[in-house]
Amino acid sequence: MYCRGAKLPFDGMHEECGVFGVYSQETRDVAHTVYYGLYALQHRGQESGGIAVAYANKIKFYKGMGLIPEVFANGNLDLLPEGDIAIGHVRYSTTGESTILNAQPIVFTGKCGRMALAHNGNLTNTKQLRESLIHDNAVFQTSIDSEVMALLINKYSDGDIVKGVLEACGYFKGSFALVVMTADKLIAVRDPYGIRPLVLGKNLDEYIVASETCAIDAVGGNVVRDVRPGEVLVIDSEGTHSYFLERPAKTASCIFEYVYFARPDSVIDGCSVYEARKEAGRILARYYPVDADIVSGVPDSAVVAARGYSEVSGIPYVEALAKNRYVGRTFIQPDQHMRENSVSVKMNALRSNIRGKRLIIIDDSIVRGTTSRKIVRMLRDAGAKEVHMMICSPIVKHPCYLGIDMQSYSQLVGANRTEEEICKYIGADSLKYITVEQLKETCRTSKLDFCTGCFDAQYPYEMNDYQADKHKFE
């Protein structure tokens, strides 16, 4: 095993994770394919990354802290051998600390020999599963739910990995898009609600599975289809075979993937992320017209929506903010002082474009409100006459327990404020959010239903274990 790096300071990025897997009919440099796939998924996690390769009944892996090109710099990628199967992971911790020990893929020897697992999502019953496994004499090396999944799969496998996956997944509550690898199989699993995205692709004799279609495009593959909610997709020398977990009546894919997390060039369950974002801008223009001189978007995720707003309203799209492309996506930062600074480091107002103008500024969402407040102040300081903010999602009123790091009511500016109160807090002249129904309308071409829990508490699972925080906050 090769590991690099030490504990990172908490940087407050709030993505989830990305997974990638490849099955090749011939032994070749599959690690490089995974490397480029993970590069395309870097927006989903920047804390750590890793790749595991199956070759000659063995698995070799390398993990490290940092971005994929940092982890695999200095010839580290070349430490991995040629093989038939490989999986990889980029991580932002939603459970467990940000340490090298918690980096994935998890690799271990069990009833099916060497095995590796990489997970995007978050289980809501990890504590109960961990306690029951410890009661059965299991020992844990990490604090992440993915290790619980690996141990449970091993427990039920009895030498048959497919049996182990099918039985263990029946116990998992929460979101999981998994790639599991043994010496001769690659298995992709999507939870029965389809909360996190997972897609199947093909490139000549290689099968590929990835969190987003942009990663399949990046390695020159063709997208075949989405892995279906509840599907256990087994890939081996005979091709693909599908099994299904027990499925609920309604699916619940995370609608925030379209708002913020996914790359705009990805297509999730038949719905283009780019088109969904543009439609959100068009809806804002139709329902909330404002008399203004220019419209602009907070880079990067809201630029498309601002163009949609401009298209419908006829108000010219003008760039108001320049982004430093070398700063990661901020979302929530560890303390107030750092949050204020990180916005200025990340972007700056284009004074000559906005001086004396009545400006509509569009953003994807407001979580803590600190970034929006800073942006409004920055635009006013640069000479904007009026600043009207429009948001491409409803008010975030509830935490997410399904793989996004906003896990307490106290983090959310919208938890106990109205639209008017949030407007006052951020200092804008006006503020408008789209409704849950309008947001669903932006993604109407998706084949799945949606989780909208962070907006209206309509989670696919009961969240009883998490209600203590709500009561404390109230």
Contact residues toward ligand SF4 (CB under 6 A) are: 195, 254-256, 400, 402, 404, 451-454
How much of the chain is in helix, strand and coil states, percent to nearest 5? Answer: 30, 30, 40
Decide: residue 51, CB within 10 A, 0-12 exposed, 13-18 middle, 19+ buried: buried
Q: Give catalytic residue positions.
A: 17
- Contacts for 336 with CB less than 8 Å, ≥ 6 apart: 370
CB of 202 closer than 8 Å to CB of 222: yes
Quick one: tokens of 253? 């894919």
What is residue 400's DSSP assignment?
A: B
Residue owning tokens 């972007």:
347
Residue type for 56, please?
Answer: A
- Residues in the chain, how many? 474
- For the beta carbon of residue 115, count every other beta carbon within 10 angstroms: 27
What is residue 441's DSSP assignment?
A: H
**What is the β-pairing status of strands 186-190 and 231-236?**
antiparallel
DSSP SS3 for 131: helix
From the list 23, 145, 45, 29, the residue with the least C-alpha distance to 80 is 29
Q: Ramachandran region of residue 160, left (φ > 0), alpha (ψ -120 to 50) or beta?
A: beta
Element (H, E) at 307: helix 303-313
* Least distance between ligand SF4 and beta carbon 262 (Å): 11
**Rounded CA gap, 320 and 295, in Å?**
8
- For the beta carbon of residue 2, count every other beta carbon within 10 angstroms: 12
Residue with smaller CB distance to ligand SF4, 296 or 452: 452
**Helices 303-313 and 273-287 sit at what angle, rounded to 10 degrees?**
40
What is residue 406's DSSP assignment?
A: B
Buried b (16+ CB within 10 A) or exposed e, 285-313: beebebebbbbbbbbebbbbbbbbbbeeb
HSE (side-chain half, CA atoms, 13 Å) at 381 = 10
Residue type for 2, please?
Answer: Y
CB of 44 closer than 8 Å to CB of 17: yes
